[in-house]
Amino acid sequence: MVSYKRLNPEDVQFSSGVLSEVRPVQEEVAVPEPEEASLLPRRPPCSVTTGLLVIGCLLLLLCGGWLMGTVFWLHGSSNQQPHKPPPPASGQTPDSKVQTGVDDAAAAARRDACSQTPAEWRFDCYPERSVVVTRELCEARNCCFIPVSPPSSSATRPSGKNGVPWCFYSQDFPSYSLVSLNDTVLGQKGKLVKDVKTYYPGDILTVEAEIRYETDTRLRVRITDPSSSRFEVPITVPPATKKAENPDYVVEISKQPFSLVVKRKSTGAVLLNTAVAPLFYADQFLQFSTSLPSEFVYGLGEHRSTFLHDFSWNTLTMWARDVPPTEKTNLYGVHPFYLAMEDGGNAHGFFLLNSNAMDVVLQPSPALTWRTIGGILDFYVFLGPNPGSVIEQYLEVIGRPAMPIYWALGYHLCRWGYSTSNNTWEVVKSLRNYGIPQDVQWNDIDYMDKSMDFTYDLTKFDTLPDLVKDLHAHNQRYVVMMDPAISSTQPEGSYWPFDEGLKRGVFIKDADGKTLIGKVWPGLTAYPDFSDEVTHEWWYDNLQKFHEKVPFDGLWIDMNEPSNFLDGSTNGCPSNSLENPPYTPGVLGGLLRAKTVCATAQQKMSIHYNMHSLYGLMEAKASASALKRIVAKRPFLISRSTFPSQGMYSGHWLGDNRSLWKDLYTSIAGMLTFNLLGIPLVGADVCGFSEEPEEELCVRWTQLGAFYPFTRNHNAIDMKPQDPTAFSPMARTAMKQALLLRYSLFPVLYTLFHHAHVHGHTVARPLMFEFTSDVKTYGIDKQFLWGKSLLVTPVLDPGVDYVVGYFPEGLWYDYYTGISMRSKGEEVKLQAPLDKINLHLREGFVIPIQTPNLTLWVSSGQPLHLVSALSDDGSASGDLFWDDGESIDTYETDQYAYIIFNVTQKVMTSQVLHSNVEATYITVESASFYGVKEKPNKVLVNSQDAPFTYRENQQVLVVTELGLNLSRNFTISWM
């Protein structure tokens, strides 16, 4: 955010760029504008000219002809354009003069009007960093200037506090007027004009606003330049063909100044209100603001923060960047989507379809400002009304996540620094010897020959092909890293990927049309342009050739922001408005080219200025397509950089975290956020990537990691090993138990991913999704749910054998024992020895589990055990999706089984809604019923007597020796 300190209480304002070393944050604020304010007259507000003339006449009577000249001068300057300061961030003295020293009535009236704007409703008129903002600079922008006293201990104040802008928009700041509005097939289209240019170059004075009532729960608004095409994000969104017949929203349009208000029809809640600040639409500066119904806002990835965002003048910058997770910093991915809660438990979502560098400003009004430096304003509002349906509607636009291959949900192990293939192999064997489950082994960049893609070190990793064969023989899989940058310095004819890439013209070009050269791990490198289909075919050819040598099963695509050890290229970058835009969002390094390629670089679809944050998405799309062709199964892909729709092609890991307790905690927020963003296959590096974890931390992290949708242990070069076999017998046993627990829950997790793929549901889920009427759940990010039924309460602090968890109102069962606990919506202290992670089953649900084994291939063939957590009325329900685990599009081609389980009035029924041969291989051997209040006299299975046990102190009924085929309906009853 922007934080201000005074040099002179009345005249000087500092931006954070001047006050701190690197603080890539800032904020904006907007003042409500009255509808009657005229935007067409080119005169200062508050009738400045009239006031000056009156005072001038009085001074004329006292001072004579000398002051008459002053009056004429003032009259002439009042007719100048009020927005003629130097380019933003220049810090120069503006051309237009600002009268000082004369406390005239007009100026006093204006200051009085400015002072009427509450601090929390002040929208930043001078967001540039590294600028000393004076009253003169501020008022040259026709904005209000009111210094805000810093707190008594400003030098040590918390970041983001007391960031009230000193320079902010007046209530009558010029904006666009709606001059015409016509009905269209989908809604309305209006022409917006403004007569006064702003202080950013390339002002577009006439724009077009189209409002599309696409569905009853989805509104789309596009604001474009009718005279010139501008860059638009090249992802496929669903076309609307007819106007929604009974929308859940009402749209109100104000003409002068133009603004939109979107309300929920059922409650009148205001979901969007752009009247709070002026609309900007310049070539490289587009901005609008909106009020929010609450401060309960989530999403806006990728940033390291709590799950619930901070509204204390908090600026979130979006521009893909290679940097370890750090607060207040733009990270690997860009996701301009938020979910917001309203009073009464309703929720709505907002998505800005824009890939240019941007700032998103959160302020305590509460309000939010979008500020981007390119493209168009193309946004959606999703009406929900509950959080889960908001995400479903969002994913209908960007695309639902792919169904993962079954082994993707197993335990993955990696490190940077195995050094040799034999060392890698020894770790795999060690896990097998200790009976620790593992499905996938990875190698980091050290397997390559001189860090070059599509190679492996024939000396240190000479046995790599044999290692992969051994993994396959044990039903395990192998994943390799691939960076996008290709070595450009090998002797001609010795490195096919670069030679062939040059031949086909697949590399990003510089502004002069020559191959842009940067620097990454292999040294000087060229960058494939994944926006070009030619590059996709070249990428496939390279992967196919390498697969013939090392038959890998999946890909890890890293460094794809894209990362560059240089700023721009070996030849630098041109000096122009693309490299140095009039406004630069708060990107780390202060430049768009910081540790990436030049903004002016040329790609097939557009310049890198527009394409940068799409790079990881486009590489993932090319890689997923190639993998499908190579392995003829569901592609497994994990990417570092992400953008909306990424879940259709890859999962994500949360980057180069640290082996610290804080990182353990923040990983939950990251996991939950990416589930909102349509990338449910997500997790953090278990035990941390950099630094060396304490044994206790690694145990607790493995327990939490067992409930990441994607579970991988990974650490850095020169660090001690941190796989489970590297620790004491007690720690190793605790980690093994946690992983076996995950493997036993595979049927639950796999079914959750099916619902994510088909319906757009979340897998790891925040409590507030299921308990929207309980505001206490809105900020919880130390616990989470798997789907609707399983509550995970991990230990996140050192040296404790207990954990405090919040339990929403209802009946909860200890997963391990079946002992019930009734909550009124309260915190509960739970015992948590080092070998336990607390897990509770919510009343009313049935879950299927299996006996775990060393790999999911073996585990998934084991008999099922059904666990039913009964509500007070004795009811529960659940389901199971089952297929072969690896074929592409099994749901779409009807190659799956789907079974639902219901318990009511002491009878469980199984109903096969969709059958498939895969279900015939699985049996149901036993069932547990939690919450059976009395010991039954008998249990019947398909009307036949069956053996059972009843634990009276726990009220748990267990039925065994069932031998039921999953593919056939059955009943279990007791009396």
Could you read off the pLDDT of 376-429 as tens digits, one per residue?
999 999 999 999 999 999 999 999 999 999 999 999 999 999 999 999 999 999
pLDDT at 248 over 50: yes
Residues 462 and 334 in one domain: no
In angstroms, the CA 608 to CA 564 distance is 14
Residues 433 and 385 in one domain: no
Residue 823 forms beta bridges with which residues? 810
- Which DSSP state fits 507? B
By the 8 A CB rule, do 897 and 918 touch?
yes
pLDDT above 90 as % of the chain:
86
By C-alpha distance, which of 277, 334, 331 is closest to 24? 331
Residues 827 and 741 in one domain: no
Other CB atoms within a 10 A radius of the CB of residue 175 amount to 25
Q: Which residues contact 725 (CB under 8 A, 6 or more apart)?
A: 427, 430, 431, 434, 436, 732
The DSSP string of 401-445 is PPPPPGGGGSEEEEETT--SHHHHHHHHHHHHHTT----EEEE-G
In angstroms, the CA 24 to CA 651 distance is 27
Is the entire prediction scored with pTM above 0.85? yes
Name the band, by pLDDT with cuts 50, 70 and 90, for residue 108.
Answer: confident
555-598 pLDDT, tens digit each: 999 999 999 999 999 999 999 999 999 999 999 999 999 999 99
CATH code assigned at 161: 4.10.110
587-643 pLDDT, tens digit each: 999 999 999 999 999 999 999 999 999 999 999 999 999 999 999 999 999 999 999
Residues 446 and 531 in one domain: yes
Residues 711 and 789 in one domain: no
Residues 857 and 915 in one domain: yes
Name the band, by pLDDT with cuts 50, 70 and 90, for residue 130.
Answer: confident
Name the band, by pLDDT with cuts 50, 70 and 90, for residue 111.
Answer: confident
Which of 716, 733, 755 marks a domain boundary?
A: 755
In angstroms, the CA 862 to CA 870 distance is 25
In angstroms, the CA 455 to CA 341 distance is 50
- Which DSSP state fits 655? -
Q: Which pLDDT does position 103 carry in this prediction?
A: 56
In angstroms, the CA 903 to CA 882 distance is 21
Q: Which pLDDT does position 162 carry in this prediction?
A: 54
By the 8 A CB rule, do 348 and 388 touch?
no
Token pair for 451: 């860090």
Helix orientation angle between 661-676 and 695-705, rounded to the nearest 10 degrees: 10
By C-alpha distance, which of 909, 907, 838 is closest to 873? 907
Q: Which pLDDT does position 80 carry in this prediction?
A: 30
The reply to whether 21 falls in a domain is no
Token pair for 46: 């508050």
pLDDT at 51 over 60: no
For residue 107, the SS3 value is helix
Give the start-end residues of each E strand in 635-702.
Answer: 636-639, 651-653, 682-683, 685-686
Residues 773 and 736 in one domain: no
Q: Are strands 939-941 and 259-264 parallel, antiparallel or unpaired?
A: unpaired
Mean pLDDT of 677-695: 97
Token pair for 422: 């034999």
Q: Which pLDDT does position 817 carry in this prediction?
A: 98
By the 8 A CB rule, do 492 and 499 touch?
yes
By C-alpha distance, which of 293, 335, 297 is closest to 317? 335
Mean pLDDT of 796-816: 98
Residues 793 and 913 in one domain: yes
Residue 912 forms beta bridges with which residues? 899
Q: Which pLDDT does position 106 carry in this prediction?
A: 79
The reply to whether 922 falls in a domain is yes
The reply to whether 177 falls in a domain is no
Q: What is the biggest distance separating any 2 CA atoms in the chain, rounded to whole angstroms?
A: 115
CATH code assigned at 933: 2.60.40.1180
Is residue 561 annotated as part of the catalytic site, yes or no? Answer: yes
Mean pLDDT of 686-709: 97
Distances in Å between the alpha carbon of 281 and those of 89, 381, 571, 933? 18, 20, 33, 66
Residues 289 and 423 in one domain: no
In angstroms, the CA 127 to CA 139 distance is 14
Peptide bond into 165 cis (omega under 30): no
Mean pLDDT of 217-245: 97
In angstroms, the CA 754 to CA 634 distance is 13
Distance, CA of 9 to chain centre: 40
Is residue 210 annotated as part of the catalytic site, yes or no? Answer: no
Which residue out of 439, 510, 561, 663 is catalytically annotated? 561
Q: Are strands 440-443 and 411-415 parallel, antiparallel or unpaired?
A: parallel
The reply to whether 790 falls in a domain is yes
The reply to whether 18 falls in a domain is no
In angstroms, the CA 425 to CA 45 distance is 75
By C-alpha distance, which of 218, 562, 161 is closest to 389? 218
Lowest average pLDDT, out of 29-38, 715-724, 819-828, goes to 29-38
By the 8 A CB rule, do 860 and 919 touch?
no
For residue 846, the SS3 value is strand
In b/e form, how buried is each residue of 864-880, taking b as 16+ CB within 10 angstroms?
A: bbbbbbbbeebbbbbbb
For residue 732, the SS3 value is helix
Residue with the larger pLDDT of the pair 768 and 132 = 768
Which amino acid type is present at position 781? D
By C-alpha distance, which of 225, 294, 220, 296 is closest to 262? 220
Q: Which pLDDT does position 109 carry in this prediction?
A: 85
pLDDT at 140 over 50: yes
Helix orientation angle between 746-759 and 729-744, rounded to the nearest 10 degrees: 50
The reply to whether 5 falls in a domain is no
In angstroms, the CA 160 to CA 315 distance is 9
In angstroms, the CA 443 to CA 415 distance is 7
Residues 273 and 384 in one domain: yes
Other CB atoms within a 10 A radius of the CB of residue 393 amount to 21
Residue with the larger pLDDT of the pair 367 and 18 = 367
297-349 pLDDT, tens digit each: 999 999 999 999 999 999 999 999 999 999 999 999 999 999 999 999 999 99
Which residue out of 124, 283, 553, 558 is catalytically annotated? 558
Residues 872 and 970 in one domain: yes
CATH code assigned at 707: 3.20.20.80
Q: Which pLDDT does position 150 carry in this prediction?
A: 65
For residue 921, the SS3 value is helix
Name the band, by pLDDT with cuts 50, 70 and 90, for residue 246.
Answer: very high
By C-alpha distance, which of 701, 678, 699 is closest to 688? 701
The three-state (H, E, C) secondary structure of 570-599, written as one string: CCCCCCCCCCCCCCCCCCCCCCCCCCCECC
Name the band, by pLDDT with cuts 50, 70 and 90, for residue 151.
Answer: low
Full domain range(s) for residue 290:
193-398
Report the sign of the C-alpha dihedral through residues 852, 638, 594, 310, in that order: negative
474-526 pLDDT, tens digit each: 999 999 999 999 999 999 999 999 999 999 999 999 999 999 999 999 999 99
Distances in Å between the alpha carbon of 775 and those of 342, 698, 808, 936? 10, 33, 10, 40
Residues 158 and 199 in one domain: no
Mean pLDDT of 282-287: 98
Lowest average pLDDT, out of 52-61, 426-435, 469-478, 962-971, goes to 52-61
Half-sphere exposure for 969 (CA within 13 Å, toward CB): 7
pLDDT above 70 as % of the chain:
88
pLDDT at 939 over 60: yes
Question: At CA 17, angle to CA 14 and CA 22, rounded to 5?
Answer: 145
CA dihedral defined by 81, 86, 91, 97, rounded to 10 degrees? -30
The domain tally of the chain equals: 4
747-782 pLDDT, tens digit each: 999 999 999 999 999 999 999 999 999 999 999 999
Which of 724, 755, 786 marks a domain boundary?
A: 755
Average pLDDT across the chain, whole number: 90
CATH code assigned at 339: 2.60.40.1760
Q: Which pLDDT does position 34 carry in this prediction?
A: 33
The reply to whether 93 falls in a domain is no
Which of 727, 755, 783 marks a domain boundary?
A: 755
In angstroms, the CA 949 to CA 953 distance is 12
Q: Which residues contact 708 (CB under 8 A, 6 or more apart)?
A: 667, 671, 682, 683, 684, 686, 764
Q: Which pLDDT does position 82 carry in this prediction?
A: 29
Peptide bond into 336 cis (omega under 30): no
The reply to whether 130 falls in a domain is yes
